[in-house]
Amino acid sequence: MKDKLNKLKSLLLESHDLTMVASLLNWDQNTYMPTGGAEARGRQRALLSRISQEKSTSPEVGKLIDELVTNIDYFDEDSNEARMILKAKRDYDRAVRIPPPLIAELFAHFSKTFQAWMQAKSSNDFSLVAPMLEKTLQYSLKIAEFFPEMDHPADALIDQFDPGMTVAQIKPLFANLRKELVPLVQNITNREIPNDRFLKLYFSKDDQINFGERVIMDIGYDFSRGRQDLAPHPFTTKFSIDDVRITTRVNENDLIDAFFSTVHEAGHALYEQNISKEFEGTPLDRGTSSGIHESSSRLWENVVGRSYEFWRHYYPILQEYSGDNLATVSLDEFYRAINKVTPSLIRTDADEVTYNLHVLIRFGLELDLLEGKLTISELPKAWNDRYEEYLGVRPDNDTLGVMQDIHWFSGPIGGAFQGYTLGNIFSALIYSSALKASPGIPKEMEKGNFEPLRNWLSDNVYQFGSKYPPIELLKRFSDEPLSIKPYMKYLNNKYKSLYNLK
């Protein structure tokens, strides 16, 4: 059996390496490639993904997986080997369900829709992309049909990003969250709005980059196994466990936009850089789900990066980096400014509290579309109505409304949004578990020492890569049933004192 497993690993490594080469092309495309390179690059990436897919779904791979699964008792139940085989089976089963001609069709449709969306967005005309989106909805339902064992059409799409999670599990969680968040946001917006004008002063690109890189080095991002470059839409990418790269964007009239984006991406990268080396190139060598990945990025960005303890250490340092900009601004004023809550139209600009409402709106609309309760032509109005209902704001046009995010215009409808809010919910659960085990974490943070927190995360989350599906991973260190309680406790504590709420 060991020989068979080694054979499987070497076959999957080839497919894996091709995917990593395709990621390198993608990284280059989003950072340094001249625009003229786009056409050839698209072709080259498509070729690599096709060959990689052929390798990972070959009959030889399928046969080896079958034999290994039949004899899984040969390995200890919780061993890396057994888990690797089961993960390989899961990946293989998913990959062979959808016939290759349909995959090619989907690929072509999504890239055409993406082009139409860019056009429609810049001319603020939803009708230019509506027929394509109509087709996307049909394709999304078609994908779901290949997973008849799942209860809800969205389940097949969610399962790809958040393995094992379902509408039945997420819907009540999100409904509870909405019940708690809407009044919290209303209470906050009834209070005095903190002054944050000083955050919009000039802050040079170099100083922003230098300050951000100093901080992420302190939290543990390893620059000898990574680098940071500029990109219009920040992202993290990985070519191996020892080469995990991040990107950021800089607005010289904003003191914190680049900073929090850098910390967010570094939170993703810390996860990937700290996966056990033993998993390199195997089905276990990446983060286990969107939700757990986002829990790491949001934990570092929000729970740590927007905390008072953190800025007790870094505020004087930031002041040094930013000339006279913050000379007369106190730490308390700064802390209130970076935690200002305002209902807004754009998800990616939203604060930590209202952010989830943006996600809940999208998740709810996705379910309605997939369940046939809503049509594409009704979508823009439904979007605006929900913004009014959840956040008390209404977009004037569809560019600021339904067309703002790339997700539905470059992939299926369903599966891509829930991970953001699951990440927030998980981040509080994970942080409270870390505090229980290591109560000195905040005190150390005040000294700029993140080792206790990072070590706890490495030991309990990062090192395992995809060995455990998300819910099983959480259960290993927390016996609480999955709920929004730790997250609401975190938000209520923080914002009650920030806004003097009762």
The two three-digit tokens of residue 471, written as one number: 């819910």
The two three-digit tokens of residue 158, written as one number: 């969610």
User: Smallest distance from the beta carbon of 304 to Zn ion, in angstroms?
Assistant: 15
User: Is the Cβ of residue 152 or residue 245 nearer to Zn ion in the bound state?
Assistant: 245
Closest-by-Cβ residue to Zn ion is: 297
User: What is d(CA 9, CA 121) in angstroms, rounded to the nearest whole number?
Assistant: 44
User: Is the Cβ of residue 290 or residue 384 nearer to Zn ion in the bound state?
Assistant: 290
User: Is the Cβ of residue 234 or residue 486 nearer to Zn ion in the bound state?
Assistant: 234
Answer for the pair 306, 352: CB distance below 8 angstroms, yes or no: yes
The two three-digit tokens of residue 54, written as one number: 């052929």
Is 480 in the active site? no
User: Smallest distance from the beta carbon of 390 to Zn ion, in angstroms?
Assistant: 22
User: Smallest distance from the beta carbon of 240 to Zn ion, in angstroms?
Assistant: 20
Give the rounded distance of the alpha carbon of 267 from its chain centre. 10
Distances (CA, A) of 286 to 41, 106, 237, 269, 452: 25, 25, 11, 11, 23
H or E stretch at 340: none
Site for Zn ion in 364-383 (CB under 5 A): none
Per-residue x/- mask for Zn ion, residues 293 to 312, rule CB under 5 A?
Answer: ----x---------------
Answer for the pair 84, 282: CB distance below 8 angstroms, yes or no: yes
- Of the residues 265, 272, 352, 366, which is catalytic? 265
User: Is the Cβ of residue 273 or residue 297 nearer to Zn ion in the bound state?
Assistant: 297
User: What is d(CA 379, CA 137) in angstroms, rounded to the nearest whole number?
Assistant: 12
User: Smallest distance from the beta carbon of 263 to Zn ion, in angstroms?
Assistant: 11
| Start-to-end C-alpha separation, the chain | 63
User: Smallest distance from the beta carbon of 234 to Zn ion, in angstroms?
Assistant: 9
Using N-to-C axis directions, what is the helix angle for 2-31 and 59-70, rounded to 10°? 130
Part in contact with Zn ion (CB under 5 A); list of ranges 61-69, 189-197, 291-299, 345-353: 291-299
User: Smallest distance from the beta carbon of 18 to Zn ion, in angstroms?
Assistant: 25
Using N-to-C axis directions, what is the helix angle for 418-437 and 355-370, rounded to 10°? 130
Phi, psi of 87 (to 5 degrees): -70, -40
User: Smallest distance from the beta carbon of 294 to Zn ion, in angstroms?
Assistant: 5
Task: Enumerate the β-bridge partners of residue 234.
Answer: none
User: Smallest distance from the beta carbon of 429 to Zn ion, in angstroms?
Assistant: 18
What secondary structure does DSSP assign to 368-427, as a single string? HHHTTSS-TTTHHHHHHHHHHHHHS---SSSTTTTTS-SGGGTS-SSSSSHHHHHHHHHH
User: Is the Cβ of residue 194 or residue 465 nearer to Zn ion in the bound state?
Assistant: 465
User: What is d(CA 142, CA 102) in angstroms, rounded to the nearest whole number?
Assistant: 10
User: Is the Cβ of residue 262 or residue 297 nearer to Zn ion in the bound state?
Assistant: 297
224: how many CB neighbours lie within 10 A of its CB? 7
What secondary structure does DSSP assign to 162-183, as a single string? STT--HHHHHHHHHHHHHHHHH
Which strands form 236-240's sheet, in the order they lie side by side?
228-230, 243-248, 236-240
Part in contact with Zn ion (CB under 5 A); list of ranges 224-232, 292-300, 391-399, 481-489: 292-300
Answer for the pair 275, 463: CB distance below 8 angstroms, yes or no: yes
User: Is the Cβ of residue 12 or residue 292 nearer to Zn ion in the bound state?
Assistant: 292
DSSP state of 108: H
Q: How many residues bind Zn ion (CB under 5 A)?
A: 1
Task: Enumerate the β-bridge partners of residue 229.
Answer: 247
User: Is the Cβ of residue 247 or residue 297 nearer to Zn ion in the bound state?
Assistant: 297
User: Smallest distance from the beta carbon of 347 to Zn ion, in angstroms?
Assistant: 12
Under the binding rule (CB under 5 A), the answer on residue 52 touching Zn ion is no
User: Is the Cβ of residue 300 or residue 334 nearer to Zn ion in the bound state?
Assistant: 300
Q: How buried is residue 388: exposed, middle or buried, by Cβ count under 10 Å (0-12/13-18/19+)?
A: exposed
Tell me which residues touch Zn ion (CB under 5 A). Answer: 297
Please list the active-site residues. Answer: 265
